[in-house]
Chains A and B, each alone.
Chain A
Protein backbone atom coordinates (compact mmCIF):
# COMPACT_ATOMS: atom_id res chain seq x y z
CA UNK A 1 0.00 0.00 0.00
CA UNK A 2 0.97 3.65 -0.23
CA UNK A 3 3.32 4.97 2.38
CA UNK A 4 3.71 8.46 3.80
CA UNK A 5 4.24 11.00 1.06
CA UNK A 6 5.62 14.51 1.31
CA UNK A 7 5.72 17.39 -1.11
CA UNK A 8 7.66 19.10 -2.39
CA UNK A 9 10.72 16.87 -2.04
CA UNK A 10 13.02 19.88 -2.44
CA UNK A 11 12.34 23.52 -1.73
CA UNK A 12 14.63 26.49 -2.13
CA UNK A 13 13.45 29.69 -0.47
CA UNK A 14 14.97 33.10 -0.20
CA UNK A 15 15.41 34.40 3.31
CA UNK A 16 12.21 36.04 4.45
CA UNK A 17 9.88 33.99 2.25
CA UNK A 18 7.07 31.85 3.63
CA UNK A 19 6.98 28.11 2.81
CA UNK A 20 4.39 25.37 3.18
CA UNK A 21 5.32 21.70 3.39
CA UNK A 22 2.71 19.02 2.87
CA UNK A 23 2.39 15.56 4.38
CA UNK A 24 -0.01 12.80 3.31
CA UNK A 25 -0.02 10.11 6.00
CA UNK A 26 -0.95 6.50 5.56
CA UNK A 27 -4.72 6.22 5.26
CA UNK A 28 -6.37 5.48 8.59
CA UNK A 29 -3.40 6.48 10.69
CA UNK A 30 -4.52 8.43 13.73
CA UNK A 31 -1.27 10.09 14.69
CA UNK A 32 0.95 12.38 12.67
CA UNK A 33 4.37 13.74 13.61
CA UNK A 34 6.76 16.35 12.22
CA UNK A 35 10.51 16.19 12.76
CA UNK A 36 13.38 18.45 11.70
CA UNK A 37 16.65 16.81 10.68
CA UNK A 38 19.64 19.11 10.38
CA UNK A 39 22.65 18.00 8.38
CA UNK A 40 24.56 15.28 10.21
CA UNK A 41 22.05 15.06 13.04
CA UNK A 42 19.20 12.81 14.05
CA UNK A 43 15.62 13.91 13.62
CA UNK A 44 14.28 16.27 16.27
CA UNK A 45 10.64 16.31 17.29
CA UNK A 46 8.62 19.35 16.28
CA UNK A 47 4.94 18.58 16.82
CA UNK A 48 2.35 15.80 17.07
CA UNK A 49 -1.30 15.42 16.08
CA UNK A 50 -3.88 12.90 17.12
CA UNK A 51 -6.54 13.17 14.44
CA UNK A 52 -7.06 16.93 14.03
CA UNK A 53 -5.94 17.83 17.54
CA UNK A 54 -2.42 19.15 18.00
CA UNK A 55 -1.44 17.49 21.27
CA UNK A 56 2.17 18.59 21.52
CA UNK A 57 3.95 21.47 19.82
CA UNK A 58 6.77 21.80 22.27
CA UNK A 59 9.45 21.20 19.64
CA UNK A 60 8.50 24.06 17.31
CA UNK A 61 11.59 26.32 17.41
CA UNK A 62 9.79 29.64 17.16
CA UNK A 63 6.43 31.24 16.53
CA UNK A 64 7.37 31.36 12.84
CA UNK A 65 6.58 27.64 12.69
CA UNK A 66 2.96 26.56 12.46
CA UNK A 67 1.40 23.17 11.74
CA UNK A 68 -2.16 22.13 11.05
CA UNK A 69 -4.17 19.02 10.27
CA UNK A 70 -7.69 20.38 9.88
CA UNK A 71 -9.50 17.21 8.79
CA UNK A 72 -7.38 14.69 10.59
CA UNK A 73 -5.53 13.44 7.52
CA UNK A 74 -3.27 15.70 5.43
CA UNK A 75 -1.01 18.02 7.40
CA UNK A 76 0.85 21.20 6.48
CA UNK A 77 3.89 22.64 8.18
CA UNK A 78 4.25 26.33 7.51
CA UNK A 79 7.33 28.38 8.14
CA UNK A 80 7.00 32.14 7.97
CA UNK A 81 9.83 34.56 7.20
CA UNK A 82 12.33 31.76 6.65
CA UNK A 83 15.85 32.11 8.05
CA UNK A 84 19.03 30.32 7.06
CA UNK A 85 18.94 28.25 10.25
CA UNK A 86 15.66 26.75 9.03
CA UNK A 87 17.56 24.85 6.33
CA UNK A 88 17.05 21.17 7.09
CA UNK A 89 15.13 18.09 6.04
CA UNK A 90 11.60 18.07 7.41
CA UNK A 91 10.29 14.59 8.04
CA UNK A 92 6.69 13.58 8.50
CA UNK A 93 5.65 10.32 10.16
CA UNK A 94 2.36 8.65 10.94
CA UNK A 95 1.28 5.82 13.20
CA UNK A 96 -1.84 3.73 13.44
CA UNK A 97 -2.44 4.43 17.09
CA UNK A 98 -1.00 6.56 19.85
CA UNK A 99 -1.96 5.72 23.42
CA UNK A 100 1.02 5.85 25.74
CA UNK A 101 3.53 5.01 23.05
CA UNK A 102 5.35 2.00 21.63
CA UNK A 103 3.82 2.22 18.17
CA UNK A 104 5.91 2.21 15.02
CA UNK A 105 6.10 5.52 13.24
CA UNK A 106 6.19 5.30 9.44
CA UNK A 107 8.31 8.00 7.88
CA UNK A 108 8.01 9.84 4.62
CA UNK A 109 11.03 10.67 2.42
CA UNK A 110 11.22 14.21 3.75
CA UNK A 111 11.33 17.70 2.27
CA UNK A 112 14.77 19.23 1.97
CA UNK A 113 14.46 22.97 2.60
CA UNK A 114 17.33 25.24 1.64
CA UNK A 115 17.11 28.90 2.62
CA UNK A 116 19.42 31.18 0.66
Chain B
Protein backbone atom coordinates (compact mmCIF):
# COMPACT_ATOMS: atom_id res chain seq x y z
CA UNK B 1 0.00 0.00 0.00
CA UNK B 2 1.11 3.54 -0.66
CA UNK B 3 0.96 6.39 1.82
CA UNK B 4 2.43 9.83 2.18
CA UNK B 5 3.13 11.63 5.44
CA UNK B 6 3.62 15.35 5.77
CA UNK B 7 4.25 15.80 9.47
CA UNK B 8 4.19 19.59 9.49
CA UNK B 9 0.70 20.95 8.92
CA UNK B 10 1.91 24.55 9.14
CA UNK B 11 5.34 26.13 8.71
CA UNK B 12 5.78 29.81 9.55
CA UNK B 13 8.92 31.45 8.20
CA UNK B 14 10.24 34.96 7.66
CA UNK B 15 10.81 36.32 4.20
CA UNK B 16 14.27 35.54 2.74
CA UNK B 17 14.81 32.71 5.23
CA UNK B 18 15.38 29.11 4.05
CA UNK B 19 12.64 26.54 4.39
CA UNK B 20 12.28 22.76 4.29
CA UNK B 21 8.94 20.99 3.97
CA UNK B 22 9.13 17.35 4.93
CA UNK B 23 7.61 14.41 3.09
CA UNK B 24 7.94 10.72 3.86
CA UNK B 25 6.36 7.96 1.85
CA UNK B 26 5.80 4.25 2.08
CA UNK B 27 5.70 2.10 -0.97
CA UNK B 28 6.35 -1.49 -1.83
CA UNK B 29 7.27 -0.67 -5.41
CA UNK B 30 9.37 1.83 -7.30
CA UNK B 31 7.86 5.26 -6.96
CA UNK B 32 7.41 8.43 -8.83
CA UNK B 33 7.25 11.42 -6.49
CA UNK B 34 5.73 14.85 -6.98
CA UNK B 35 5.36 18.14 -5.17
CA UNK B 36 2.38 20.35 -5.98
CA UNK B 37 1.49 23.83 -4.73
CA UNK B 38 -2.04 25.09 -4.20
CA UNK B 39 -2.82 28.79 -3.99
CA UNK B 40 -6.18 29.85 -2.52
CA UNK B 41 -9.13 29.05 -4.78
CA UNK B 42 -6.85 27.57 -7.42
CA UNK B 43 -6.03 24.10 -8.62
CA UNK B 44 -2.83 22.27 -7.84
CA UNK B 45 0.25 23.31 -9.81
CA UNK B 46 3.27 21.08 -10.31
CA UNK B 47 6.47 22.27 -8.62
CA UNK B 48 8.71 19.34 -9.46
CA UNK B 49 8.85 15.59 -9.87
CA UNK B 50 11.24 12.69 -9.38
CA UNK B 51 11.09 9.80 -11.80
CA UNK B 52 14.62 8.40 -11.81
CA UNK B 53 18.24 9.45 -12.10
CA UNK B 54 19.71 12.29 -10.06
CA UNK B 55 18.28 12.39 -6.57
CA UNK B 56 18.34 16.19 -6.49
CA UNK B 57 15.47 17.59 -8.50
CA UNK B 58 15.05 21.26 -9.35
CA UNK B 59 11.65 22.77 -9.96
CA UNK B 60 9.94 26.07 -10.60
CA UNK B 61 10.16 29.19 -8.46
CA UNK B 62 13.55 28.19 -7.01
CA UNK B 63 12.32 25.06 -5.24
CA UNK B 64 14.26 21.80 -5.15
CA UNK B 65 13.77 18.41 -3.56
CA UNK B 66 15.99 15.49 -2.71
CA UNK B 67 14.93 11.88 -3.08
CA UNK B 68 16.35 9.66 -0.34
CA UNK B 69 15.48 6.02 -0.89
CA UNK B 70 16.97 4.72 2.36
CA UNK B 71 14.96 7.20 4.42
CA UNK B 72 11.94 7.05 2.09
CA UNK B 73 11.85 10.83 2.04
CA UNK B 74 11.38 13.54 -0.56
CA UNK B 75 11.82 16.83 1.29
CA UNK B 76 11.20 20.14 -0.46
CA UNK B 77 13.58 23.05 0.06
CA UNK B 78 14.03 26.66 -0.91
CA UNK B 79 17.06 28.70 0.15
CA UNK B 80 15.22 32.03 0.36
CA UNK B 81 11.44 32.36 0.44
CA UNK B 82 9.26 35.22 -0.73
CA UNK B 83 5.89 36.45 0.43
CA UNK B 84 4.44 35.04 -2.79
CA UNK B 85 5.43 31.51 -1.72
CA UNK B 86 2.64 31.56 0.88
CA UNK B 87 0.47 28.62 -0.16
CA UNK B 88 -0.25 24.99 0.66
CA UNK B 89 2.17 22.35 -0.54
CA UNK B 90 1.32 18.73 -1.23
CA UNK B 91 3.63 15.77 -1.67
CA UNK B 92 2.33 12.88 -3.77
CA UNK B 93 3.29 9.35 -4.75
CA UNK B 94 2.25 8.09 -8.16
CA UNK B 95 1.35 4.40 -8.14
CA UNK B 96 0.37 3.43 -11.68
CA UNK B 97 -1.30 6.78 -12.32
CA UNK B 98 -3.15 6.82 -9.01
CA UNK B 99 -1.78 9.72 -6.98
CA UNK B 100 -1.64 9.41 -3.20
CA UNK B 101 -1.34 12.81 -1.56
CA UNK B 102 -0.15 13.86 1.86
CA UNK B 103 -2.36 16.04 4.02
CA UNK B 104 -0.48 19.17 3.00
CA UNK B 105 1.77 21.77 4.62
CA UNK B 106 0.70 25.40 4.79
CA UNK B 107 3.69 27.66 4.29
CA UNK B 108 3.15 31.09 5.82
CA UNK B 109 5.83 33.59 4.83
CA UNK B 110 5.96 36.62 7.09
CA UNK B 111 7.47 39.99 6.18
Instruction: Enumerate chain A interface residues (CB-CB to B < 8 A).
Output: 3-4, 31, 33, 35, 40-45, 48, 56, 59, 91, 93, 95, 98-110
User: Please, how many angstroms separate the alpha-carbon atoms of A108 and B44 in the complex?
Assistant: 8
Inter-chain contacts of B102 with A (CB < 8 A): 42
* Shortest distance between the CB of A84 and any CB in chain B (Å): 21
Contacts A31-B97, A102-B51 given; does A42 touch B90 at CB 8 Å: yes
Residue of B nearest to A43 (CB): B101
Closest 4 CB pairs of A and B: A42-B101, A107-B43, A107-B44, A102-B32
Question: Do A100 and B101 touch across chains, with their CB atoms under 8 A apart?
Answer: no
Instruction: Enumerate chain B interface residues (CB-CB to A < 8 A).
Output: 4, 6, 32, 34, 36, 41-46, 49, 51, 90, 92, 94-104
How many A-B residue pairs have C-beta atoms within 8 angstroms? Tell me: 64
* Shortest distance between the CB of A6 and any CB in chain B (Å): 8
| Selected contact of A43 from candidates B32, B51, B97, B99, CB within 8 Å | B99
Interface SS of B by simple majority: strand
Inter-chain contacts of A110 with B (CB < 8 A): 43
| Selected contact of A56 from candidates B4, B6, B46, B98, CB within 8 Å | B98
* Shortest distance between the CB of A91 and any CB in chain B (Å): 7
Inter-chain contacts of A102 with B (CB < 8 A): 32, 49, 51, 94
Question: Do B95 and A101 touch across chains, with their CB atoms under 8 A apart?
Answer: yes
| Selected contact of A105 from candidates B41, B42, B99, CB within 8 Å | B99
User: Please, how many angstroms separate the alpha-carbon atoms of A48 and B98 in the complex?
Assistant: 8
| Selected contact of B97 from candidates A41, A91, A98, CB within 8 Å | A98
User: Please, how many angstroms separate the alpha-carbon atoms of A4 and B43 in the complex?
Assistant: 9
User: Please, how many angstroms separate the alpha-carbon atoms of A40 and B10 in the complex?
Assistant: 11
Question: Do A101 and B32 touch across chains, with their CB atoms under 8 A apart?
Answer: yes
Residue of A nearest to B90 (CB): A42
| Selected contact of A41 from candidates B32, B49, B100, B103, CB within 8 Å | B103
User: Please, how many angstroms separate the alpha-carbon atoms of A58 and B49 in the complex?
Assistant: 25
